Amino acid sequence: WDFLILFFCLPVVIFNEITKKRLLGDMSCRIVPFMEVSSLGVTTFSLCALGIDRFHAATSPQASTRPIEQCQSIIAKLAVIWVGSMTLSVPEILLWQLAQDTSPVSGGVTEFCTMKPSSNLPESIYSLVLTYQNARMWWYFGCYFCLPILFTVSCQLVTRRIRGTEKKSECRSTKHGQCESHLNCTIIALTIIYGLCTTPENVCNIVVAYMSPDMSKQTLDLLNLINQFFLFFKCSVTPVLLLCLCRPLGQAFMDCCCCCCEGCGPDTTSSEGSADSKLKTEMSSSIFFDKPRETPPPLLALGTPC
């Protein structure tokens, strides 16, 4: 979803700032806020899911022999996160619309997006969208800012409390304990980046809600541009941070890129190296589940029986 934000929303915003025209017209005024709010929801619920996964990994009686989570289960969780985030962002499509104004400096017509429900909506839907607009600021602050931060902090504190100081000192000497600490640091780093990038938007929303009559349109546009800049910065940093800190995911990404560059053709010289990388990836701990470390799976014989 971060890549979708960068590849679709970023060009639309840059085009609008340069030409003062909305690319794709009224559609972009509705789709861009929808995708941006959906991005916040995807990140929020993903951090909550990762916090629950780390809690289960810490409280499991036999973490080293924890069964591998099935692919269908992971896909189901991702579907719930994505569909839920997009469903909660549907009011953004009905809230925004395209407006035009004459510039006092150049005299040209400029297009901008305004937060105003269309009067052509049915009365029941119009009242719901209007209620959402009035509660939008606190909904942002509570669901997309406080929830992931408090959830991550709570899961980390409860995990450390359950493990205890003695158990933690014993686990740190083992490879499994080191990977558990590494994954916990990854989640904490993702939460810190998310909190730092969403703080300016929440502050601006609160300031605009109580001081908007005293602010000029240029100031409001500047604040909106700053909020979008931090959102694009988060979408740029999060994938890089995740690939760098999560070694199995980074290794899988590099293998996929190398496979695409080489055309996925059979290469006898690289078969042994790819088998070794697969073994290392299987023995490593993943963000979504813990794989067995005590008894790694045996390697299959490569080449002919001779």
Checking if the pLDDT of 269 tops 80, the result is no
Confidence of residue 246 (pLDDT cuts 50, 70, 90): confident
Checking if the pLDDT of 303 tops 50, the result is no
The mean predicted confidence, pLDDT, of the chain is 76
CA dihedral sign, ordered 246, 285, 4, 192: negative
Report yes or no: 286 and 249 within 8 Å, Cβ to Cβ. yes
Backbone angles phi, psi at 95, to 5 degrees: -90, -35
CA dihedral sign, ordered 147, 152, 154, 155: positive
Checking if the pLDDT of 270 tops 60, the result is no
Measure Cα distances from 285 to 31, 95, 161, 279 in Å. 37, 43, 22, 12
Looking at residue 79, what is its pLDDT?
92
Q: Exposed, middle or buried: residue 6 (CB in 10 Å: 0-12, 13-18, 19+)?
A: middle
**With pLDDT > 70 as the criterion, what percentage of the chain qualifies?**
74
What tens digit of pLDDT does each residue of 177-192 get?
A: 667 777 778 888 888 9
Checking if the pLDDT of 254 tops 60, the result is yes
What tens digit of pLDDT does each residue of 274-283 get?
A: 545 544 444 4
Measured distance CA(36)–CA(29) in Å, rounded: 11
Measured distance CA(232)–CA(255) in Å, rounded: 27
Looking at residue 80, what is its pLDDT?
92
Looking at residue 54, what is its pLDDT?
79
Please tell me which residue, 289 or 194, carries the higher pLDDT value: 194
Confidence of residue 137 (pLDDT cuts 50, 70, 90): confident
Domains recognised in the chain with CATH numbers: 1-60+69-166+183-254 (1.20.1070.10)
Mean pLDDT confidence for 103-131: 80
Query: Residue holding tokens 């549907």?
Result: 90
> What number of CA atoms fall less than 13 Å from residue 68's CA on the CB side?
11
Measured distance CA(149)–CA(188) in Å, rounded: 9
- pTM greater than 0.75: no
Measured distance CA(255)–CA(105) in Å, rounded: 54
What tens digit of pLDDT does each residue of 204-235 get?
A: 888 877 776 667 777 777 888 888 888 889 88
Confidence of residue 287 (pLDDT cuts 50, 70, 90): very low
Looking at residue 82, what is its pLDDT?
92
Measured distance CA(197)–CA(52) in Å, rounded: 23
Measure Cα distances from 18 to 11, 13, 14, 133 in Å. 11, 9, 6, 29
Token representation of residue 26: 């009224």
Confidence of residue 66 (pLDDT cuts 50, 70, 90): low
Q: Using alpha carbons only, how large is the chain's radius of gyration in Å? A: 24
Contacts of 238 (CB under 8 A, 6+ apart): 2, 43, 190, 193, 194
Measured distance CA(291)–CA(198) in Å, rounded: 34
Checking if the pLDDT of 83 tops 90, the result is yes
What tens digit of pLDDT does each residue of 152-176 get?
A: 888 888 877 776 654 544 544 566 6
Give kind and range of the element (H or E) at residue 101. Answer: strand 96-102
Contacts of 199 (CB under 8 A, 6+ apart): 145
Confidence of residue 16 (pLDDT cuts 50, 70, 90): confident
